[in-house]
């Protein structure tokens, strides 16, 4: 069974149709990168996958459960879907450690001491074990984003969604964050990454989606999509960014 | 000087009454404000309207009129019996509640949308998001404005003397009518109010420093 299945997804903001008709599926352990011009709907597409945006039409199945069905508890489904944002969105009134333990403890997934132990392990994994007691305001952008990844992982998600995770970072911070994401991919995490980092997409992705105008214009393994794009719009986009 | 020393026990009784009314009214007022702010932001139009009507009605009418309405107006019904102290507490609470509602609403709306998105994407529901993420951050930002409203409400309690509540102001008036020394007595009242309010603002700046957003 696919980890994520998207069937005829549509999303409008008022009269503006941002996602016109998208269908795709993501298999367990697959890493899918989503590229496309700004305003193409790629971030909106990602945000529909955990219903941060209300879905206007079609269906999204996470691990078999239809998130557009109001009978399914969206809060429970979201626990399986980690999300990392462009602007980190760490909780500034809590320490790094509290950022990681809040959800597992309050949602009854782990006891406080177990959550703390797990959090410290995750912080070590992203290279920030020493920052457990720091507040987000004391961290650099790259450190914040690694904490944000660790915060999502603390819920043991089955899928991780990344919404332009390196776009707000100083160039020298990008490598650390991409490094953590590569490690995750190697461990078999199912990932969907909206990104402008073509190098990362080429190296890590199993499949690349090129989204433009609310549709998937083209999808392929990275070598083919980057090396031998079929559509004019893909060619035009790639010639600008590569 | 002698008059002041002789009147101190009475003023002390008045001060205790003022603080008693203030303490209950401010807590009630804050709860009213919190509920009204949440109604104002709730995803149901009817709830928004209820809160908006309440807030506009209270902000658009004088405190004294509200006090008379509650003490004389409501008490004219046989099934209502509010003594003057409780009529005063209720009036101060409702009045402060309307202002708190707007302060809290603005505070909640000032928190970046990304905070809610992060919390919801982790699986927290909307009330957990409010409780653990939004309100703790909003309260820190609101603290100076909340203190300001608390100070205004404390001063409003002196108007309760009009309906005979034996608060600090009322005790002062009684002493003046017996001693004919308005200058010293009202000066003493002023100093006492000033000291309490000064202590309140000290507490507020201590809390602000303590809970500064890092």
Q: What is the tally of structural domains in chain B?
A: 1
Return the pLDDT at A231: 93
With 90 as the cut, is the pLDDT of residue B81 above it?
no
Average pLDDT over residues A83-88: 96
Return the pLDDT at A242: 77
Which chain B residues are within 8 Å of A78, Cβ to Cβ?
Answer: 120-123
Return the pLDDT at B212: 67
| pLDDT tens string A146-199 | 999 999 999 999 999 999 999 999 989 999 999 999 999 999 999 999 999 999
CATH 3.40.50.720 fits A28-50+73-239, yes or no: no
**ipTM computed for the complex:** 0.93
Return the pLDDT at B85: 96
Return the pLDDT at B6: 82
Return the pLDDT at A241: 85
- Among candidates B131, B66, B135, which has minimal Cα distance to B97? B66
Of A75, A85, A137, the CB nearest to B123: A75
The answer to whether A76 contacts chain B (CB < 8 Å) is yes
> A75, A81, A135: which to substitute to probe chain B, counting the most B Cβ within 10 Å?
A75
Average pLDDT over residues B173-178: 92
User: Domain extents for chain A?
Assistant: 28-50+73-239
The residue in chain A having the minimum alpha-carbon distance to the alpha carbon of residue B117 is A52
- Domain hosting B21: range is 1-213
Do the chains contact at B214 and A91, CB–CB below 8 Å? no
What confidence category does residue B2 fall into, taking pLDDT thresholds of 50, 70 and 90?
confident
A12 burial level (CB within 10 Å; 0-12, 13-18, 19+): middle
Count CB atoms within 10 A of the CB of residue B203.
12
Average pLDDT over residues B35-64: 96
Q: Report pTM.
A: 0.86
Do the chains contact at B122 and A93, CB–CB below 8 Å? no
With 70 as the cut, is the pLDDT of residue A240 above it?
yes
Of A106, A138, A152, the CB nearest to B124: A106
A112 burial level (CB within 10 Å; 0-12, 13-18, 19+): exposed
Mean pLDDT of the residues in chain A? 95
Return the pLDDT at A118: 96
- Residues of chain B with a CB closer than 8 angstroms to some CB in chain A: 112, 114-115, 117-125, 128, 132-133, 136-137, 140, 213-214
| pLDDT tens string A224-236 | 999 999 999 999 9
Average pLDDT over residues B49-67: 97
Q: Which token pair is A30?
A: 């697959």
The pLDDT > 90 percentage for chain B reads 83
Distance from CA of A147 to the nearest CA of B (A): 13
Average pLDDT over residues B91-101: 97
Assess contact for A127 and A176: CB atoms under 8 A.
yes
| Radius of gyration over every alpha carbon of chain A, rounded to an integer in angstroms | 18
With 60 as the cut, is the pLDDT of residue B213 above it?
no
Strand partners, A81: A159
The residue in chain A having the minimum alpha-carbon distance to the alpha carbon of residue B140 is A93
CATH number reported for the structural domain that contains residue B9 in this entry: 1.10.3720.10
CA distance B36 to B137: 19
Average pLDDT over residues A87-93: 96
Return the pLDDT at B211: 75
- Among candidates A156, A205, A200, which has minimal Cα distance to A176? A200
Average pLDDT over residues B113-129: 96
Return the pLDDT at A211: 95
> B107, B114, B120, B122: which to substitute to probe chain A, counting the most A Cβ within 10 Å?
B122
Of B117, B123, B125, the CB nearest to A89: B117
| Helix (H) or strand (E) segment spanning residue B50 | helix B45-59
- Among candidates B2, B4, B1, which has minimal Cα distance to B172? B4
Return the pLDDT at A62: 96
Residue ranges with strand state E in chain B: none
Return the pLDDT at B160: 96
Return the pLDDT at B55: 97
| pLDDT tens string B24-38 | 999 999 999 999 999
């Amino acid at each position: 069974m696919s980890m994520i299945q998207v069937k005829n997804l549509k999303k409008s903001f008022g009269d503006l149709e941002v996602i016109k008709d998208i269908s795709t599926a993501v298999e367990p352990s697959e890493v899918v990168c989503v590229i496309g011009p700004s305003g193409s709907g790629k971030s909106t597409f990602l945000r529909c996958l955990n219903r941060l945006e209300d879905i206007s039409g079609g269906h999204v199945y996470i691990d078999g459960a239809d998130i557009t069905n109001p009978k399914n508890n969206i809060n429970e489904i979201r626990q399986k879907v980690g999300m990392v944002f462009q602007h980190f969105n760490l909780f500034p009134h809590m320490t790094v450690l509290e950022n990681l333990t809040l959800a597992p403890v309050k949602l009854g997934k782990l006891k406080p001491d177990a959550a703390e132990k797990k959090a410290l392990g995750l912080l070590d994994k992203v290279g920030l074990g020493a920052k457990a007691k720091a507040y987000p305001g004391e961290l650099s952008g790259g450190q914040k984003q690694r904490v944000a990844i660790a915060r999502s992982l603390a819920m043991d998600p089955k899928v991780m969604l990344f919404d332009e995770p390196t776009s707000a970072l100083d160039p020298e911070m990008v490598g650390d964050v991409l490094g953590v994401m590569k490690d995750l991919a190697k461990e078999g995490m199912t990932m969907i990454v909206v990104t402008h980092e073509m190098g990362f997409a080429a190296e890590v992705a199993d499949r690349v989606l090129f989204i433009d105008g609310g549709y998937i214009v083209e999808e392929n393994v990275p070598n083919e999509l980057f090396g031998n794009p079929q559509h004019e719009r893909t060619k035009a986009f790639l010639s600008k960014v590569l | 000087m002698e008059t002041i020393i002789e009147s101190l026990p009475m003023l002390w009784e008045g001060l205790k009454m003022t603080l008693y009314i203030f303490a209950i009214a401010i807590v009630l007022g804050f709860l009213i404000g919190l509920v009204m702010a949440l109604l104002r932001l709730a995803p149901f139009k009817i709830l928004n309207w209820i809160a908006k009507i309440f807030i506009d009605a209270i902000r658009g009418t004088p405190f004294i009129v509200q006090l008379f309405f509650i003490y004389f107006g409501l008490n004219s019904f046989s099934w209502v019996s509010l003594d003057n102290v409780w009529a005063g507490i209720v009036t101060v609470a409702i009045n402060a509640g309307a202002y708190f509602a707007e302060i809290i609403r603005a505070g909640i709306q000032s928190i970046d949308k990304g905070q809610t998105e992060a919390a919801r994407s982790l699986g927290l529901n909307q009330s957990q998001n409010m409780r653990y993420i939004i309100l703790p951050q909003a309260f820190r930002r609101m603290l100076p404005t909340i203190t300001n409203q608390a100070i205004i409400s404390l001063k409003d309690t002196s108007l309760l003397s009009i309906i005979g509540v034996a608060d600090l102001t009322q005790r002062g008036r009684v002493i003046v009518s017996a001693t004919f020394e308005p200058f010293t007595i009202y000066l003493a009242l002023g100093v006492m109010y000033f000291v309490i309010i000064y202590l309140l603002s000290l507490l507020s700046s201590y809390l602000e420093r303590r809970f500064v957003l890092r």
